[in-house]
Structure 1
Amino acid sequence: MTEPSLALQTAIRARLIASPHVMELVEPREIRDGDTRPDAFPSIILGAGQVVIAGHYTNYRNVTAYLDLHIWAEGEGLENTKTIGGAVWNAIGRDLTVPGFDLHDGIHVERSIYMRDPSGCGHGVVSLRANMGYHL
């Protein structure tokens, strides 16, 4: 079994790459796991994951998985970063499939925040939550 936040990260990356709207804005190779600050812009860095155990059963476990997506773009203001953030929101939807896991109520965008990096680039963080279950 794959660790839940890694399985979620893999499914999110596949969903983003399958989105024509995201692909108009970000190259597929720039949607990746890695350090928080990228070398190339625009990019989406699949950030830190967290898993909280929500219930143990004899042959089944419920968890809540969290994942942050770091969106980076150049340009005046935060418009480019927010445009990519909007495309990400639309691409993710709620009907995500994560192989090996049951998503009990889909995936949720918990929040998004946008800020200026000291370098002048725009930086956004889109935080996701998924209630997931799997058989042991």
Structure 2
Amino acid sequence: MIEPGFALQALIGDRLAADPDITALVNPLNIRAGMIRPDQMPAIVLAPARVRFLGHAAGGQIMAEVRLLLHVWAVEDGAKAQAVAGAVMRAMMDAPEAEGFDIDAWARPELVWMRDPDPVRAHTQGVIALTAVLRWRAA
């Protein structure tokens, strides 16, 4: 398996981009990994994951806890940002099906709203926190 944080980030990004409730609100090209405010909105930006290795499991497997933040960006109109965040929360309610690794634990998503830190801009940012425990066989 590739690095567990990247593996989960790719899995989540693919799931979001394939969800018709989400793509009705957000262009799939605006669902991406990164660390900066997007130019095109609404958008979902998957920040780099925080990974904590938990150790070994039976049969030469490795386990890690992966924490991932999804940043939902929209021009501040309230309803659009809330609709996008609601669709993402519903899509992330249960763990996605993974290939090449197992998801042993999945925490329900958490959402917090923030104002854009740049006072000149009128953007809304929702941050959705995801936590999962991944298990995979070491190569």
Q: CA deviation at 1:43?
A: 0.3
Matched, 1:63 2:69: no
CA distance in 2, matches of 1:93, 1:24: 19
Deviations 1:78-102 (A, max 9, x none): 3322211110011123141222111
RMSD of the alignment, in Å? Answer: 1.5
Matched, 1:129 2:128: no
Structure 2-normalised TM-score? 0.89
Q: Which runs of 5+ in 2 are unaligned?
A: none
CA distance in 2, matches of 1:20, 1:96: 15
Q: Which runs of 5+ in 1 are unaligned?
A: none
Asked whether the 8 Å contact 2:42–2:75 carries over to 1, the reply is yes
**Percent identical across equivalent pairs?**
34
CA distance in 1, matches of 2:32, 2:136: 25
Count matched residues.
134
CA distance in 1, matches of 2:111, 2:50: 17
Moved beyond 3 Å, runs of 4+: none
CA distance in 1, matches of 2:128, 2:53: 22
Deviations 1:95-131 (A, max 9, x none): 41222111113x3234211112131111010010111
Question: Where do 1:110-121 residues align within 5 Å?
Answer: 110-117=109-116, 118=119, 119-121=121-123
